Each structure stands twice: as C-alpha cells, then as structure tokens.
Amino acid sequence: MADVDVQVQYTTTERKTRKVKKSTKRRESKDGEVTVTEIDQTNTTTTNDDGGEYTKAMNKDWHSGHFCCWQCDESLTGQRYVLRDEHPYCIKCYESVFANGCEECNKIIGIDSKDLSYKDKHWHEACFLCAKCRVSLVDKQFGSKLDKIYCGNCYDAQFASRCDGCGEVFRAGTKKMEYKTKQWHEKCFCCVVCKNPIGTKSFIPREQEIYCAGCYEDKFATRCVKCNKIITQGGVTYKHEPWHRECFTCTNCNTSLAGERFTSRDEKPYCAECFGELFARRCTSCTKPITGIGGTRFISFEDRHWHNGCFICAQCKTTLVGKGFIVDGQDIICPECAKQKLM
C-alpha cells in the first residue's frame, strides 16, 4: 500500500478560529506507513463576508460542496479522508478499494490497524499467529511452509532437516556436512570406529557407515599374506590370496614370480627351475627335470621317465613316441634295430 495521509477536513471562515489537536498513529503496510491525523473541532460554522462557506484541504481552498471523495463523490467536509496519488478518498472507499485482506480472518485491514505482510500476504497484528500452536509471531522469528506460517519451534518440529547422526534439527547458522542424500552436524560426522570427527579429511563409506582412512585400512584394506602389510597399489592374487608383487617370490630362491611361470608344492610357489631341481621327475635320457610346465609331455615306463623328445631308439635315434619298443638293458630300441642286433 502506498504512503498516504489520512486527514480530517473542516469548514472555516476568515473570522473564526478553531482549536486543533493532532495525534499520529502508525500502521505497517507493504509499501510503508500510513499517518492518521485526527482533528477535534467546534460544531459551529460561520459564513464569510460574502455569505459563502469554504474548506481548506490539501493546501487549497475548496467550496464546501466541491471537496468530495474521489470514488463516491460524497462530501469530505468535516470528515476524515485519505490521500492516494494526490486524490482524496473517504475512509470507507479507501478501505474498500485499496486496503488488504487478512489471511487469517479474511476481513479488511483498516487504516487504523497494523498491516503485517510477508510474501504478498497480509495479517492483522492480532491475527499474525503460528498455524500450529497459535502463539503470536509479532516481532518473532518464524518460518513459512505450504502457504502457512509457523513459530520457530513448530517449524523445526515439523519441517526442519535433521542430522542423520543425532536426529536433532539444524539450527540457523549451524554448519552442515553432506554426503549423497545424508547430512550431519559437524560434530556428528564421525568415523564409526574411532569416533573422531571427519571434518574436511578424507573418508571411505562402506555399508551405510563412514570410516576415516586409518580405521578403514585397519578393518577392511587388503593385506599381503606374506608380510601382512596393506596393499595400496598393484599386487597379485594367487589361490585367492593377495600378495605384494615384491612379496610373491619363489619359496626356494626368492626370485620374483610376478609375471613369470611358476608352479606350487604344498601350497607354496616355486619358480620352474627350483621346482624341477627339487621335486620333478628326471628324464632317464638327459637327466634333466620333467616339470610339466607349459604342457610338457613325457613318457613313463616302469620306474623310468623320458621327455617326449628324449624317448628315442638308442641306436637309430628314431622317436619311439606312439610306437612299439624293446628294452635293451638300460636302453630302449625300436623293433628294427632289435632284429638287426639278434642277427
């Protein structure tokens, strides 16, 4: 509502003087304050020397019959009136056309009442109440939700966001820590194990819980089965167990086996060379180990063993793999050589 002056106009003459008492009331409105001026006057009116009456209003002289309400044309002589946009209105017309309606009681907020406004809504001072507990909100903090106003306590109880740690509401000015769809007071955003506040430090979420880096490593980090230290990067897996690359070595010679061919014995890894030297069968012909690594094939007969490439006739050197052969002492020979030997 624009700033307006509410005044009382009266008829006067050059000969008469009237006693005037002014008092000012204020009411709050959307656009500012309205000043109401009340004038006490005598009931006697007197004509001037020309026999006519006139009215002084708005710093002008008016015939008494010409100073009228801009809306209804009723005379304002001797009446209270309101100026708006340089036009005078009687109180009834002004309130009908320009006054705001109260959101609570739906009645007009007259010029003699305080008009409390918030987001294009208006209330009488007595109607400016919490929608829940009905306490007055005049000169108090309040919140708004779904076109209703609430005192601070009622608003917090119904609508304020709450800490996922302690369940309490976030008061004004409280620092809030947020992660995904959850939020905490700063003091409540703690490691689930050591209970120390996370603050701005790094953290790891796991199964709805929050861990500081140290506690997470102690509880969940992958550890090498050999040295029991945390594997921070790289690493190899053998028989579903984790190893540092530098820890995954031959049990016998400690040569790194990462990226190399190896085999195992009694759940322990060995490089091909050590395994052959320690555990593999030996070829009867070349005496070298038969490791079987890489799909190596070999021939066994009784308690003797040969590499496929070593299983040949002792005389003609023809391979005997998949063929018949004859044992000649420590040698094996093909049937043809055996016949020649008998002749």
Across 70-74, 218-222, 230-234, which has the greatest mean pLDDT? 70-74
Whether pLDDT at 224 is above 50: yes
Q: Are 82 and 9 in contact (CB under 8 A)?
A: no
The pLDDT > 70 percentage for the chain reads 82
Helix/strand/coil for 215: helix
Alpha-carbon distance of 79 to 2, in angstroms, equals: 21
For 330, other C-beta atoms within 10 Å of its C-beta total 8
Q: For residue 101, give the nearest of 3, 1, 31, 24 by alpha carbon.
A: 1
Residue 38's pLDDT is 35
At 298, list the tokens: 């070999």
Residue 296: predicted pLDDT: 67
- Mean pLDDT within 108-112: 87
pLDDT at residue 56, rounded to an integer: 80
Predicted TM-score (pTM) of the model is 0.40
pLDDT, residue 133, reads: 92
Q: Is the pLDDT of residue 332 over 50?
A: yes
pLDDT band at 51 (very low <50, low <70, confident <90, very high): low
CB count in 10 Å sphere of residue 21: 8
Helical segments of 186-317, H only: 213-220, 272-278
∠ CA 136-138-142, nearest 5°, is 80
Helix (H, G, I), strand (E, B) or coil at 126: helix
Give me the mean pLDDT over the 143-164 stretch. Answer: 84
pLDDT at 163 over 70: yes
| pLDDT surpassing 60 at residue 14 | no
Whole-number Å distance between alpha carbons of 102 and 275: 95
Mark out the alpha helices in the chain (DSSP H runs): 91-97, 152-158, 213-220, 272-278, 335-342
In the predicted model, what is the mean pLDDT of residues 226-238? 85
β pairing state of 33-37 and 5-8: parallel
Q: Is the Cβ–Cβ distance between 242 and 262 less than 8 Å?
A: no
